[in-house]
Amino acid sequence: MEFQVAGKKVVLRERISLGDGYNIIGLFSSIDSNDLRTSIPIMAKMIESWEFEGDPSDSAAYDKLDVLIEIIPMSRKINARINALMSGLNEDEEEPEKN
């Protein structure tokens, strides 16, 4: 999956092996909405490549990104993608209504 943030392409990994993602659910659940730094480890696991400066797997590369224009939009896209994958949905599908 790829998307644009601040006019730059961000590509998410299609697959994350158990060896690389054994702790991904813990990372996802440890995100604190009051501290954006807590979203960096999951972003580093999920992002395969980007057009920003630096390596997306290096947490130091996020220090130079703009919080409002780059970090928050990227984090929201990644969170939505993880939620869709964990619920077995494609990003274009919606969950069926429960009766």
Angstrom distance (rounded) from CA 63 to CA 72: 13
pLDDT digits (tens, 9 = 90+) for 78-99: 988 888 888 885 555 555 555 4
What CA–CA distance (Å, rounded) separates 12 from 26?
Answer: 19
Report d(CA 60, CA 40) in Å as an integer.
9
- Residue whose tokens read 């909405």: 33
pLDDT band of residue 47 (cuts 50, 70, 90) is: very high
Q: What is the pTM of this model?
A: 0.79
The average pLDDT across 5-24 equals 91
Strands 8-12 and 47-50: antiparallel
Over residues 27-40, the pLDDT tens digits come to 888 888 889 999 99
Question: What's the rounded Cα separation, in Å, for the pair 72 and 5?
Answer: 10
